[in-house]
Amino acid sequence: MTTSGGHRPQGRSGALRGGTLADAVVSALAACARAVDRLLDAGGVAPPRLTLPDEVLGELRALFGDTVDLSAVVIRRGHVPGVPHRRAFALPGLIYLGPDPGIVATAGGAGSGASSGASTHAGDLCPRATPTLVHELVHLWQGRVIGPRYVLHALVEQVRRGRRAYDWRAALGLVPPAPGAPPLVAFDTDCNPDLTSDISPEPLGFEAHAQLVSEAYARRVGLAGTRAHGGRDEELRAMEAALTRLRAGDGQPGTGARV
Evaluate whether residue 105 is within a structural domain: yes
Evaluate whether residue 3 is within a structural domain: no
Full residue range of the structural domain in which residue 24 is found: 11-248
Residue 224's pLDDT is: 62
Is residue 69 over pLDDT 60?
yes
Look up residue 114 and give its amino acid: A
Evaluate whether residue 1 is within a structural domain: no
The structural domain count of the chain equals 1
Evaluate whether residue 5 is within a structural domain: no
Is residue 94 over pLDDT 90?
yes
Evaluate whether residue 208 is within a structural domain: yes
Evaluate whether residue 196 is within a structural domain: yes
More confident: 139 or 12: 139
| pLDDT band (50, 70, 90) for residue 163 | very high
Whole-model pTM: value is 0.81
| pLDDT band (50, 70, 90) for residue 195 | low
- Quote the DSSP letter at residue 216: H
Q: Which of 135, 72, 67 is nearest to 98 (CA)?
A: 135
First to last CA, the chain: 23
> At 96, is the secondary structure helix, strand, or coil?
strand
Q: Which of 118, 156, 115, 153 is nearest to 247 (CA)?
A: 115
